[in-house]
Structure 1
Amino acid sequence: MEDANTQPKWKGKECVELGGAKAEEVWPFLADFCNLNKWFPTLSTCIRVEGVEGQPGCVRYCAGFKTHIEHSDVNHVNWTKQKLLSIEPDNMALSYSIIDGNVGFNSYVSKVRVLPRVDGCAIEWEYEVEPVEGWKPETLQAFIGNGLNIMAKRMKEALELGVLN
């Protein structure tokens, strides 16, 4: 079996369309880096633990999300610390990396952007990570795709209800 360090990194991209939602309306939800728990499914906690909110170097602690891996310890909580690498309000894009955690993601870097469309917008989530023990590339792709679809649905509902961050 190949060592994870000698295998090529997994790369992927997911994109979801939000018909009727303007990119300028959706971007603030994503730019609010330390409130991902409002949008990402099963994420119960997202708090700033370092740096200035919305500025490169800001670190958020995310916990409570579920993955496909079962743990024998019923008190097990999945968690990661994620560092904001860049934020580009004019391009409606940000990038972050996972710098610590207990879910096996090493060298994970992601870029998330909101793209204007004629009839709304799209959210694109691009990522790169070293192979993750217990996962397959397609499992990770589905995890991110499902999460992004639920995020988009929740954001669209918030806009329809007039709820802003």
Structure 2
Amino acid sequence: MVCAHYSDVPAITLSSRKENGATVAEDLAYIEKESCRCSLRKVARQDCGSFSDAKITGASQNDDEVWEGIVTREIDAGADDVWEMLGKFTQMKRWNENAEVCEVIEGKEDEPGCVRYCAGGGRAPDGSPLRWVKEKLLTLSAAERRMTYCMLDSSYGFEGYRASLRIKPVVTDHPPSNIVSLSASNRSVIVWHFHLNAIPNTTPSELLYSMGSIFDNMMCSLERTLRPQLEPYPRPF
């Protein structure tokens, strides 16, 4: 087994936290499948840090509690190669085979403040896309391989959605002898951190399963795109 360290990655195991006797963070759901780990907890809006600005997220100040999710996914590609794809906010079609449309509808391409419209999943009987989203890029840091963005409108019905995406290299301790070369240069972990208002008639487990599945499928598509460009190496058993 390869022991991996994810530098500066939020802990995936979240515990309830109390202040003045009141619970301000409560675990709601956890899912782990192969290299994808997902957790969801309920937090007070003031615990959302830089994500708590309702002016840019569309969140209501009357909604005191939000759901916070963290999804991590290991990928067989180096952090720089992954960022080269994911860091292009408006160019999702380069790597996501399920993205039928991804275009800039406001601002300058891949610059903070720009808005992208993405659609996919086939068409409804009236010809409209089954799944679509409008998202605004808030910050972008190539040095940190990190971006933050918020959802302006979508077919999903989310409110107050805002997220960050960060890519970190995986550093291994004592790699198995059957691996010729496994280092921070050819494997990485992607951390998706999001907040959104609680969704009526949807359980935390249902939301987390849906979000985790979407993210995992996207990362599988990314791996298929990157793998032909990468030098193959033996995988551990």
Q: Does the pair score TM above 0.5?
A: yes
Which bracket does the TM-score occupy, shorter chain normalised? Answer: 0.7 to 0.9
Identity %: 29
**Distance in 2 (alpha carbons) for counterparts of 1:64 and 1:133:** 25
Quote the residue 2:220 is aligned against: 153
Equivalent residues in 2 for 1:1-165, closer than 5 Å: 6=63, 8-19=65-76, 21-40=77-96, 42-65=98-121, 74-75=125-126, 77=129, 78-118=131-171, 119=183, 120-162=187-229
Scaled by the length of structure 2, what TM-score is found? Answer: 0.58
Q: Which has the larger radius of gyration?
A: 2
Greater mean alpha carbon deviation, residues 118-127 or residues 41-50: 41-50
Greater mean alpha carbon deviation, residues 32-41 or residues 149-158: 32-41
| Gaps in structure 1 of 5+ consecutive residues | 67-72
CA-atom RMSD in angstroms: 2.4
Q: Is the CA contact 2:133–2:153 (under 8 Å) kept in the aligned structure 1?
A: yes
User: How many residues are treated as equivalent by the alignment?
Assistant: 153
Q: Is the CA contact 1:12–1:126 (under 8 Å) kept in the aligned structure 2?
A: yes
| Gaps in structure 2 of 5+ consecutive residues | 1-59, 172-182, 231-237
Scaled by the length of structure 1, what TM-score is found? Answer: 0.81
Greater RCO (Cα-Cα under 8 Å, separation 6 or more): 1
